[in-house]
Amino acid sequence: MSGVRAGDIIAGKFQIERVLGEGGMGYVVAARHLQLGQTVALKFMRDEVLSREYKSRFLREARNTVRLKSKHVSRVLDVGALEGGAPYMVMEYLEGLDFAELLQKRGRFPVAEASDYIIQACEAIAEAHGHGIVHRDLKLANLFLTRGSGGEPVVKVLDFGVSKVVDLDDGDTSHGGRRSHHDSVVTKATDLLGSPSYMAPEQVVSARDADARSDVWSLSVILFRLIAGRAPFVGNSLGELIQNIIHGPIPNLRDHRPDIPQGLEHVLWRCMERDRDRRPDVVELARLLAPYAGANAAPSLERIAILGPALVQAPPTRHPSASSFVTGGKYNWTAPPASSNVEQKPKKDMSTASFVFWAILFAAVVGSLAVVGAKLIPTRLSSAASRQAPPPAVTPVPAPTPMPMPVEPLPPSLPFTTDEEPTLVASEKPAAQPGTRPANNTHARPRTTAPSPAVKPTATTDPTSEIPSSRE
């Protein structure tokens, strides 16, 4: 770690105590407020990534988060800058475990408990959507389980570092207002932004095109993983994973947990509709999960019902990518009861439009290689002739350009999904076909773009009665 050390005093009032976690983009430390005696978490950026873009993104994350008042959002208390200009963020200090750690320690969750936790997350995201904020990086490691003042389990949504804000220029589209979009990260149409195995089809095509319905898809993936103990979509490479998200069969939760109610599986199918216009919003998702949750979900359901009318409703999707992902029939129903035996699963055949999309992408890659090859042939012709080499083999399509700050790639035999899956911020993404997994950026917790660094906890079997590790 660089920049600050234990014992340093920041802004004349925060004394650094210890490191909570480090990543490729920054680090998080525990600090004590000298006047108040309060423990807080300070989040810093590394010197080597202090570009204007990342500084702006860092501050936008703080501004987006501070607008949210829900107890299910990790609070930002203040921001500041070191003498050299590096920004820092003061956040509430949390004690507990994130859900990636909990799943690894405990194994699969009971249906009622998992549904309760997702409803709590829905409350936080409903408020965010009401402010026009799309999270874009919901995953197990960005949901944190701590305890409330009465000892009750409380879910906190972390890391709005790659969020997007959709608002209205004059606050009212019915009177000529125009929607405007503000990314916490500068994105292009080809950007891959987020944690791949949790991303909706439209998000893997273009991070800029993600909206509130993309967050609903991610929440359903989290629920699937909590109950099944595995990801719904996997692949041996990033390209294969994207292929499966866009074109693969919609998974059956009951294949992994035959004991779950059939109606809950129907809820997940709705949330994983590839046509996002057919997905529920977070308010409806919470309502659909209510029959499967425990009594602890009641307070969140009441607050979500109040937040519902304030949601910024996304307009019907006109982007061609939306229709490209349709694989099943339209849902016009609410989740059937647990005893229902009616099968209404989406069809699994690939649409013509999506086939055309990847055909065009493949043609573009081949065309680019042909141009490069034409430029290289004259410079190598004479040397090739002198060696009288045999006819060259067909050159394979090269792997995508790696991203900076690589992490150890997964072996080809392992699926491209882990409990601590990093957030990707990339300007290029591979075609949806098997290939080499690109390296990924890693970041510190509280996250700006990646998996949280963890302080390894003492073993415990009950996350709500004793949660020993500490976070922001």
Q: Give CA torsion, residues 192, 193, 194, 198, to 10 deg.
A: -40
In single-letter form, the type of residue at position 442 comes to: T
- Nearest CA-CA partner of 229 in 261, 260, 266: 260
Residues 6+ apart with CB under 8 A from 307: 123, 126, 127, 130, 283
Catalytic residue status for 137: yes
In single-letter form, the type of residue at position 275 comes to: D
Secondary structure string (H, E, C) spanning the chain: CCCCCCCCEECCCEEEEEEEEECCCEEEEEEEECCCCCEEEEEEECHHHCCHHHHHHHHHHHHHHHCCCCCCECCEEEEEECCCCCEEEEEECEECEEHHHHHHHHCCCCHHHHHHHHHHHHHHHHHHHHCCEECCCCCHHHEEEEECCCCCEEEEECCCCCCEEEEECCCCHHHCCCEEEEECCCCCCCCEEECHHHCCHHHHHCHHHCCHHHHHHHHHHHHHHHHHCCCCCCCCCHHHHHHHHHHCCCCCHHHCCCCCCHHHHHHHHHHCCCCHHHCCCHHHHHHHHHHHCCHHHHHHHHHHHHHHHHCCCCCCCCCHHHHHCCCCCCCCCCCCCCCCCCCCCCCCCCCHHHHHHHHHHHHHHHHHHHHHHHHHHHHHHHHHHHHCCCCCCCCCCCCCCCCCCCCCCCCCCCCCCCCCCCCEEECCCCCCCCCCCCCCCCCCCCCCCCCCCCCCCCCCCCCCCCCCCEEC
Rounded-to-integer distance, Cα 440 and Cα 409, Å: 9
- Nearest CA-CA partner of 279 in 268, 289, 290: 268
Catalytic residue (one of 98, 137, 275, 281):
137
Which residues are the active-site residues? 137
